[in-house]
């Protein structure tokens, strides 16, 4: 039987039934999450409820929510896709994204829980001049979150359009707007409680879906990993090189340095991502924050091990027209199409059911992550910029929550407005950029503030803006924005910076500027409260309850 | 101190400030801090070096990484999988260590603080 012809016919023919099932599951995901949000909104009254879910979640619950927040569409679809296309080089994402959690576990989670309140800026501004540091931290929070948000929304548009078989720009635009409206709804109404429960449910769905496909893939090879790898290498068209490092990044010195740069941003970015940091405020104690990271490491580690099977599985088992479709989607469709293949192929009921199931999981993933990002940005606008910078703290919690809800609307609208024309942007590029900015702008300031007595306002402001501007600036002058065939502006040519990931320059620069800013400033006020910060962060004495 | 400084930070009472300073100067706090940094500093260096070694070997030690151990399993894959093992291991070790060596001191100091400040 000629499989290629068959699947090509298939793609045009009776795929309507599959799409009906996919659509039904999407609607089910929407209904369940909307119901959760309504339920959560009844218990959201104070600022503490809205920003931090009342600090009432257990370590296990928060661990699942962290997993739900972190294992984004870029992980689920992007990493398995990167492995399906680039083999071992794609695996670096899995490794870096997991090892990064040790930075969060050992250096950040518990100390942040004890010394912060609602936002990342609460911690950074603890012993500094409030207005400059909060403004800088809020700017960085919003920029990192918007990049991440754009990645998810652009991904959602492309994915949903492909999976539902709708074509043309208007369908993608409607999808993006629909995702935007939903996330505004979750965040405005449900606050942190609603968002957290959506993330918990999503994490469970994602783990269930991933375990199912992993077992089905391994069963095809009688649970012999070596056979799976061998078939993947044979069918990839690259042979053994597919299982070895260097397929994507090994070509020349520049791409090797780019690989190191990416590796640094991955491992150091996580503990500076504002939407991850605020999750530590949703538990009652530092010990529960530690428990949540331990659970998150278990879940995320298991998940990334399975992405290895999904990625190599897609390379081994997806053939014919679907294989071309994976390549055309930049790898993003590897997991859904693998699900279809292990379910029995394109013309089977099993294939249709699994494709619909995995597509619905991917959709739930996108919704949960965009909700977390919107909430984080809205909280920072309301709590940092409005309440503390503009009103100098003279506001009630109820007013803050009102402003946060308005901000969620505004950020959602901005994200929709940016994502629709931004559909040409590469999803993996946006996520990598968010990690690079987080590692360059946020992590140096966080670590200095926690561990270096002398650190002061100028140091904080310089490291945040320095890391932020250098990371974004270097990307602007990189081949991802201009000068190459895959660039954002193919006609222009201002790519004097050769790397697509700025981390190797901008992360050390963030640390260096924090140091120089500190030692050139005569401010000593920040030293006075260091003893307090140290005792509070290590013991929890006086921590927010 | 200028007016802007700490204008909107929660006000700390003189008693709370005194309690923080006293705890900070105590031997117990010095022990807690030593227990904490004594674990996390070497461990952070170790896992970062171990991780970067994987990245650098991928770039510059292809002969080593491309050695096949059995079937289609090569050193590169085992190296990557070992990163998972060490991450789980360090997390588990820290969980045990912190409960044994850090939490009792932290709890006692926090109780001191709460007795001192809230009465």
Give B119→chain A minimum CA distance, Å: 14
Check residue B13 and give its pLDDT.
Answer: 84
Cβ-based contacts of A293 with chain B (< 8 Å): 91
Check residue B6 and give its pLDDT.
Answer: 38
CA distance A267 to B19: 38
Q: Which residues contact A175 (CB under 8 A, 6 or more apart)?
A: A156, A157, A160, A161
- Cross-chain CB nearest to B72 (options A89, A130, A226): A226
Check residue A357 and give its pLDDT.
Answer: 87
And the tokens for B53?
């070694």
pLDDT digits (tens, 9 = 90+) for A431-465: 878 999 999 999 999 999 999 999 999 999 999 99
Check residue B2 and give its pLDDT.
Answer: 34
Look at A422 and A291; give whichever has higher pLDDT: A291
Check residue A331 and give its pLDDT.
Answer: 82
Cβ-based contacts of A130 with chain B (< 8 Å): 4-9
Q: Do the Cβ atoms of A301 and B88 come within 8 Å?
A: yes
Strand partners, A489: A482
Residue A252 per-residue DSSP state: S
And the tokens for A228?
């799976």
pLDDT at A74 over 80: no
* Residue B74: φ, ψ to 5°: -110, 175
Give B43→chain A minimum CA distance, Å: 9
CA distance A153 to A73: 10
And the tokens for A536?
């509070």
Cβ-based contacts of B1 with chain A (< 8 Å): 525
Check residue B8 and give its pLDDT.
Answer: 44
- The full length of chain A comes to 545
Which pLDDT band, with edges at 50, 70 and 90, does B119 fall under? low
CA nearest neighbour of A15 among A349, A388, A270, A399: A349
Question: Mapping DSSP to helix (H, G, I), strand (E, B) and coil, where does residue A166 land?
Answer: coil
Q: Do the Cβ atoms of B55 and A101 come within 8 Å?
A: no
Is-contact A276 A70, C-beta < 8 A? yes
CA nearest neighbour of B76 among B68, B84, B86, B88: B68
B58 touches chain A (CB under 8 A): yes
Mean pLDDT of chain B: 89
Q: On the CB side of A321, how many CA atoms lie within 13 Å of its CA?
A: 14
And the tokens for A424?
């040409």
User: Which residue on chain B is closest to A301 by alpha carbon?
Assistant: B84
pLDDT at A166 over 80: no
Check residue A135 and give its pLDDT.
Answer: 96
Fold for A16-424, please state it: Sodium/glucose cotransporter (1.20.1730)
Which pLDDT band, with edges at 50, 70 and 90, does B9 fall under? low
pLDDT above 90: percentage of residues in chain A: 58
Check residue A380 and give its pLDDT.
Answer: 94
Domain boundaries, chain A: 16-424
Least confident of A123-137, A282-296, A376-390, A470-484: A470-484
Q: Do the Cβ atoms of B51 and A96 come within 8 Å?
A: yes
Q: Which residues contact A426 (CB under 8 A, 6 or more apart)?
A: A330, A480, A486
CA distance A44 to A309: 41
Q: Do the Cβ atoms of B71 and A230 come within 8 Å?
A: yes
Which pLDDT band, with edges at 50, 70 and 90, does A17 fall under? low
Strand partners, B73: B70
- Cross-chain CB nearest to A245 (options B44, B65, B110): B65
CA distance A338 to A354: 9
Rg of chain B over Cα atoms, rounded to whole angstroms, equals: 23
Residue from B10, B43, B91, B111 whose CB has the most chain A CBs within 10 Å, to mutate = B91
CA nearest neighbour of A317 among A407, A234, A423, A208: A234
CA nearest neighbour of A113 among A62, A169, A151, A65: A62
pLDDT at A471 over 80: yes
Q: At what angle do helices A349-379 and A169-185 cross, to 10 degrees?
A: 60
B66-105 burial: b if 16+ Cβ within 10 Å, else e: beeeeebbbbbbebbeebbebbbebbeebbebbeebbbeb
Question: Mapping DSSP to helix (H, G, I), strand (E, B) and coil, where does residue A489 land?
Answer: strand
CA distance A302 to B91: 14
Cβ-based contacts of B114 with chain A (< 8 Å): 541
Give A250→chain B minimum CA distance, Å: 6
- Cross-chain CB nearest to B55 (options A233, A259, A538): A259
B79 touches chain A (CB under 8 A): no
Q: Where are the alpha helices (DSSP H) in B1-119?
A: 14-25, 27-60, 62-65, 75-97, 103-117
And the tokens for A71?
């294992």
Which pLDDT band, with edges at 50, 70 and 90, does B11 fall under? low
Question: Mapping DSSP to helix (H, G, I), strand (E, B) and coil, where does residue A312 land?
Answer: helix
Complex ipTM: 0.92
- CA distances (Å), origin A465, targets A114, A514, B75: 26, 10, 41
Residue from B7, B10, B51, B104 whose CB has the most chain A CBs within 10 Å, to mutate = B51
Q: Do the Cβ atoms of A125 and B7 come within 8 Å?
A: no
- Cross-chain CB nearest to B59 (options A230, A260, A531): A260
CA distance A364 to A199: 9
Q: Which residues contact A251 (CB under 8 A, 6 or more apart)?
A: none
Is-contact A134 A445, C-beta < 8 A? no
B16 touches chain A (CB under 8 A): yes
CA distance A257 to A262: 9
């Amino acid at each position: 039987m000629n499989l290629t012809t068959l699947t090509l016919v298939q793609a045009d023919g009776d795929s309507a039934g599959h799409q009906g099932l996919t659509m039904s599951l999407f609607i089910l995901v929407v209904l369940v999450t909307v119901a959760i949000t309504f339920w959560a909104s009844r218990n959201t009254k104070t600022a503490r409820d809205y920003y931090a879910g009342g600090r009432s979640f257990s370590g296990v619950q928060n661990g699942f929510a962290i997993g739900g927040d972190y294992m984004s569409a870029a992980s689920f679809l992007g990493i398995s896709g990167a492995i399906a296309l680039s083999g071992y080089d794609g695996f670096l994402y899995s490794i870096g994204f997991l090892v990064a959690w040790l930075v969060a576990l050992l250096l950040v989670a518990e100390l942040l829980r004890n010394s912060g309140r609602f936002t990342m800026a609460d911690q950074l501004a603890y012993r500094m001049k409030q207005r400059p540091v909060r403004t800088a931290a809020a700017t960085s929070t919003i920029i990192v979150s918007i990049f991440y948000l754009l990645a998810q929304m652009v991904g959602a548009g492309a994915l949903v359009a492909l999976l539902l078989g709708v074509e043309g720009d208007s369908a993608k635009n409607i999808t993006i707007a629909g995702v935007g409206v939903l996330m505004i709804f979750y965040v405005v109404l449900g606050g942190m409680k609603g968002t957290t429960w959506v993330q918990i449910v999503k994490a469970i769905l994602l783990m269930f879906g991933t375990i199912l496909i992993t077992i089905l893939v391994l069963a095809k090879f009688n649970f012999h990993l070596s056979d799976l790898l061998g078939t993947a290498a044979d069918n990839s068209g690259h042979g053994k090189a597919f299982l070895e490092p260097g397929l994507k990044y090994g070509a020349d010195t520049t791409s090797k340095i780019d690989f190191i740069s990416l590796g640094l941003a991955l491992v150091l970015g996580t503990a500076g991502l504002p939407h991850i940091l605020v999750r530590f405020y949703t538990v009652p104690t530092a010990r529960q924050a530690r428990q949540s990271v331990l659970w998150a490491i278990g879940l995320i580690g298991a998940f990334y091990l399975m992405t290895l099977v999904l990625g190599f599985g897609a390379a081994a088992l997806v053939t014919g027209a679907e294989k071309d479709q994976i390549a055309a989607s930049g790898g993003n469709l590897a997991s859904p199409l693998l699900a279809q293949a292990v379910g029995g192929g394109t013309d089977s009921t099993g294939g249709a059911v699994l494709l619909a199931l995995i597509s619905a999981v991917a959709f739930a993933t996108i919704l949960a992550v965009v909700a977390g990002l919107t909430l984080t940005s809205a909280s920072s606008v309301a709590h940092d910029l409005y309440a503390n910078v503009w009103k100098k703290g003279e506001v009630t919690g109820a007013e803050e929550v009102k402003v946060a809800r308005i901000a969620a609307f505004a950020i959602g609208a901005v994200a929709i407005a940016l994502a629709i024309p931004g559909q040409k942007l590469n999803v993996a590029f946006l996520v990598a950029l968010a990690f690079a900015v987080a590692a360059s702008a946020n992590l140096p300031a966080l670590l200095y503030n926690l561990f270096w007595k002398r650190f002061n306002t100028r140091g904080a402001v310089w490291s945040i803006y320095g890391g932020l501007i250098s990371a974004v600036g270097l990307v602007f002058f990189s081949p991802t924005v201009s000068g190459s065939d895959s660039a954002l502006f193919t006609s222009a040519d201002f790519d004097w910076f050769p790397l697509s990931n700025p981390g190797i320059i901008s992360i050390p620069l963030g640390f260096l500027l924090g140091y120089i800013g500190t030692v050139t400033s005569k401010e000593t006020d920040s030293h006075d409260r260091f003893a307090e910060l140290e005792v509070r962060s290590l013991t929890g004495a006086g921590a927010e309850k | 101190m200028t007016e802007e400084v700490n204008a909107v930070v929660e006000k700390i009472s003189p008693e709370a400030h005194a309690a923080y300073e006293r705890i900070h100067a105590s031997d117990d706090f010095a022990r807690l801090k030593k227990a904490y940094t004594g674990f996390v500093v070497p461990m952070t260096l170790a896992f970062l070096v171990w991780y970067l070694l994987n990245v650098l070997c991928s770039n510059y030690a292809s002969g080593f990484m491309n050695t096949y151990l059995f079937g289609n399993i090569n050193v590169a894959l085992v190296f990557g999988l070992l990163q998972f093992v060490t991450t789980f291991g360090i997390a588990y070790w820290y969980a045990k260590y912190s409960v044994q060596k850090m939490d009792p001191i932290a709890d006692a100091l926090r109780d001191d603080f709460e007795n001192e400040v809230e009465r």
